C-alpha cells in the first residue's frame, strides 16, 4: 500500500520506517525466516513482497497463503501444490511462502504447517526447501504463552521479527503518504489532484488512524473519486469508531458458518488443483479426487469453476 515498484523501499520519513527499510535491506539477502508483526493495515504484505522482490530468490514466485479459516485438508493441498510437498528445490532458488495471518491457524493446522517447514538445516545443496515470511496482527509471544500457538512453530518462523508501527505512532508520515496516494489515484483515474485546506491538513495530522495506512489510502482514493476533500473527510468522521487492535475474542464467531464456508472453499480449491494438474481432463480429475465423473461435473458448475475452463482446451478421454 505504501510501496511502489518504482521506489526502492516503503515510503516514509519517520525514523521507524527508515530503520525498517534498513533492516529489510539486510534481511532480504539471506534466507532467514521473517515474522512481520503489526496491526491490520500497517503494510505487512507490502513488506513481505518487498523482502521477496529485493532478495536473491526474486526470480522464483512468491506463494501467498491466507491462513484465515483454513481447514487441515485444504492446508495440506495448498502446501503440496505450492511447495511440492516441501521437497523440491528450484534451480533458481527456494520458493518463498508468504503466510498471511498465521495467528489465525488452529492448532491442527499449526501442526501440519510445522511438518512442511524446514527445521533450519540446509539440504545437500546448502539450500532451504522454502523461505518463509509470515504475518500476524496478534502478539505471538502472548499467543504462545496462552497455549493458542505452538512454541515450536513460533521459533521456526521467527528467524527475525519486524514490528510494524501503527500510523498514529509515526505521524510525520501521514502527509507524505497522503500526497503519494493522491498522486497515485489521480493518475490511475485520470482526475485532477485535489488540494487540501489548512483545516483538512490539521485533521489528517490529528486523526488516530485506527485502520492505519489502509484507512489513509482509502480516504485518498475517496477524495479523488468525489473530487471533494471536505466531503470525503466528513464521511470519515461520521464513520463509527473502530478499535485499533482486534479484541481477544475476535475469533468468537459462528463455528458452523465458518466451517461450512471453509469446507466449500476447500472443496473448490481441491477440484481446481486437480483440474489444473490434469489439464482439465475431467475424467482423470474425477479419478484423482475419487468421485464419480457426474459428481465432478455437478461440482464444477456448483463452485463456479466453469469459467476457468475457457481457453484451456480441455478434452475428455474415452
pLDDT tens, position by position, 238-293: 876 655 444 344 344 444 444 555 566 667 777 887 887 888 899 988 888 888 88
Domain boundaries, given as residue ranges, for the chain? 15-165, 168-238, 255-306
CB-based contact 148:114 (threshold 8 Å): no
Report the C-alpha gap between 249 and 281 in whole angstroms.
45
Determine the average pLDDT of the residues in 124-128.
41
Which is the CATH superfamily of the domain at 15-165? P-loop containing nucleotide triphosphate hydrolases (3.40.50.300)
pLDDT, residue 81, reads: 86
CATH code assigned to 168-238: 1.10.8.60
**Could you write out the three-class secondary structure of 190-212?**
CCCCCCCCHHHHHHHHHCCCCCH
CB-based contact 304:264 (threshold 8 Å): no
The position carrying cell 500476524 is 136
- DSSP codes of every residue in 223-239: HHHHT-HHHHHHHHHHS
Q: How many CB atoms lie within 10 A of CB 313?
A: 8
Q: Grid coordinates representing 101?
A: 495471518
Over the range 205-215, which residues count as b (16 or more CB within 10 Å of their CB) and which as e?
eebebbbbbbb
pTM of the full structure: 0.69
Report the C-alpha gap between 85 and 81 in whole angstroms.
7
Amino acid at each position: 500500500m505504501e510501496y511502489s515498484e518504482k521506489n526502492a523501499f516503503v515510503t516514509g520519513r519517520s525514523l521507524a520506517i527508515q530503520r525498517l527499510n534498513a533492516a529489510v535491506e539486510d534481511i532480504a539477502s539471506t534466507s532467514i525466516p521473517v515474522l512481520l508483526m503489526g496491526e491490520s493495515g500497517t503494510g505487512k504484505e507490502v513488506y513481505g513482497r518487498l523482502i521477496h522482490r529485493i532478495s536473491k530468490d526474486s526470480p522464483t514466485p512468491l506463494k501467498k497463503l491466507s491462513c484465515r479459516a483454513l481447514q487441515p485438508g485444504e492446508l495440506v493441498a495448498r502446501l503440496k501444490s505450492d511447495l511440492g510437498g516441501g521437497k523440491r528445490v528450484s534451480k533458481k532458488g527456494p520458493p518463498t511462502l508468504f503466510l498471511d495471518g498465521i495467528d489465525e491457524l488452529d492448532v491442527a493446522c499449526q501442526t501440519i504447517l510445522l511438518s512442511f517447514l524446514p527445521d533450519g538445516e540446509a539440504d545437500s545443496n546448502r539450500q532451504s526447501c522454502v523461505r518463509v515470511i509470515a504475518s500476524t496482527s496478534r502478539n505471538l509471544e502472548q499467543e504462545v504463552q496462552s497455549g493458542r500457538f505452538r512454541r515450536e512453530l513460533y521459533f521456526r518462523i521467527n528467524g527475525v521479527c519486524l514490528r510494524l508501527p501503527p500510523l498514529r505512532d509515526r505521524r510525520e508520515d501521514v502527509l507524505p503518504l497522503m500526497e503519494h496516494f493522491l498522486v497515485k489515484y489521480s493518475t490511475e483515474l485520470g482526475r485532477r489532484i485535489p488540494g487540501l485546506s489548512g483545516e483538512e491538513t490539521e485533521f489528517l495530522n490529528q486523526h488516530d488512524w485506527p485502520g492505519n495506512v489502509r484507512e489513509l489510502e482509502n480516504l485518498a482514493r475517496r477524495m479523488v473519486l468525489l473530487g471533494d476533500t471536505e466531503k470525503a473527510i466528513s464521511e470519515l468522521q461520521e464513520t463509527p469508531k473502530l478499535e485499533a487492535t482486534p479484541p481477544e475474542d475476535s475469533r468468537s464467531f459462528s463455528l458452523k458458518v465458518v466451517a461450512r464456508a471453509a469446507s466449500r472453499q476447500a472443496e473448490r480449491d481441491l477440484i481446481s488443483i486437480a483440474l489444473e494438474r490434469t489439464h482439465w481432463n475431467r475424467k482423470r480429475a474425477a479419478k484423482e479426487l475419487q468421485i464419480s465423473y457426474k459428481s465432478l461435473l455437478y461440482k464444477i458448475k456448483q463452485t463456479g469453476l466453469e469459467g476457468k475452463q475457457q481457453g484451456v482446451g480441455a478434452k475428455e478421454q474415452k
